[in-house]
Amino acid sequence: MTTGPMSDLQVKAFQQDGFVVIRGLLNAEETLLTLTAARQDEAIREHSMQVIDTKGRSTNLSLWNHPGDDIYGAICRSRRVVDSMEKLLGDEVYHYHSKLSAKQPKVGGAWEWHQDYGYWYQNGCLFPDLASVFIALDPATRENGCLQLLKGSHRMGRIEHGRFGSQTGADPERVEAAMKRMDLVYCEMEPGDAVFFHGNTLHSSDPNVSDHPRWGLICCYNTRSNDPYKESHHPNYTPLLKLDDSSIQAMGARGSETGKSFLEAKRDKTQSAN
* CATH number for position 124: 2.60.120.620
Is residue 3, in this structure, part of any structural domain at all? no
Domain region containing 182: 8-267
Question: In a structure prediction context, what are the per-residue pLDDT tens digits for the chain, which is 274 residues long?
Answer: 556 678 999 999 999 999 999 999 999 999 999 999 999 999 888 888 888 887 888 899 999 999 999 999 999 999 999 999 999 999 999 999 999 999 999 999 998 899 999 999 999 999 999 999 999 999 999 999 999 999 999 999 999 998 765 667 899 999 999 999 999 999 999 999 999 999 999 999 999 999 999 999 999 999 999 999 999 999 999 999 999 999 999 998 888 764 456 665 334 444 556 7
Residue at 43 is within a domain: yes
Counting the structural domains of the chain, the total is 1
- CA distances (Å), origin 192, targets 24, 215, 255: 5, 11, 18
Listed in sequence order, the residues at least 6 apart from 212 whose beta carbon sits closer than 8 Å to its beta carbon are: 105, 138, 139, 141, 143, 144
Distance of CA 16 to CAs 25, 31, 76, 187, 189, Å?
21, 29, 25, 17, 21
Is 202 part of a structural domain of the chain?
Answer: yes
Residue 274 lies in a domain: no
| Inside any domain, residue 101 | yes
Q: Using CA atoms, how far apart are residues 40 and 13, in angstroms rounded to an integer?
A: 37
Handedness of CA 260, 266, 270, 271 (dihedral sign): positive
Please report whether residue 2 resides in a domain. no
The answer to whether residue 219 sits within a structural domain is yes
What would you report as the CA-atom Rg of the chain, rounded to the nearest whole angstrom?
17
Q: Considering the domain boundaries, does residue 272 fall inside one?
A: no
